Amino acid sequence: MSPPTPKRRPVNLSALDEHVAKFKLRSGVALPQTKNKSVSFPRESFVPVVQAEVGSVLPLLVHRYRLLLPVAQISPQGVRKVVANFADLDAIRNTLIRHFGGVTLLHQAPAPAFGVGARDPSNVMDTFQTKP
């Protein structure tokens, strides 16, 4: 992979944090039979509410999503521009682990998807980043 271009915008996943602000207990716990009404659990006992309870005794509806992460943009002239570097891959991976509890990465080369850059869906022909 080519080195990233200096002006490349680094990945910023902080906008997702608000969706994982609520936590739940990782697994059910038996409350101690004491008169003390308050209980405390270590932070590691909690996971985001969006995380599926895989392994639960109850049947669960679990969705599997496939995310496509483009790592480079190649113009028709053969100029290759990196849009996601290894640190971005690692940051996205760590975020998915933190939010959902796990992730599988699969690098597909050559890329199964081809395009001509981001464009306005309401005006595709006039908004190509690179002219086809």
Partner 1 sequence: MPKSDAPAPVRKIAPTDERDRQELIRFKSAEARLEAIGALVDYGMLSFTSYSENDWLVRTPVARLLRKLGVPFEWLTENV
Per DSSP, 9 falls in state P
Is residue 102 near partner 1 by the rule CB under 8 A? Answer: yes
116 Cα distance to chain centroid: 24
* Residue from 9, 35, 107, 131 in contact with partner 1 (CB under 8 A): 107
- The number of residues in the chain equals 132
**Can you name the residues that pair with 25 across neighbouring β-strands?**
46
Q: How many Å apart are CA 122 and CA 115, to the nearest integer?
A: 16
Per DSSP, 91 falls in state H
Minimal distance, residue 44 CB to partner 1, in Å: 12
User: Binding mask 12-51 vs partner 1 (x if CB under 8 A, - otherwise)?
Assistant: ----------------------------------------
Is residue 103 near partner 1 by the rule CB under 8 A? Answer: yes
Stretch near partner 1 under the rule CB under 8 A, chosen from 31-39, 42-50, 106-114, 120-128: 106-114
CB count within 10 Å of CB 92 equals: 17
User: Which residues of the chain form contacts with partner 1 (CB under 8 A)?
Assistant: 1, 71, 86-87, 89-90, 93-94, 97, 101-107, 109
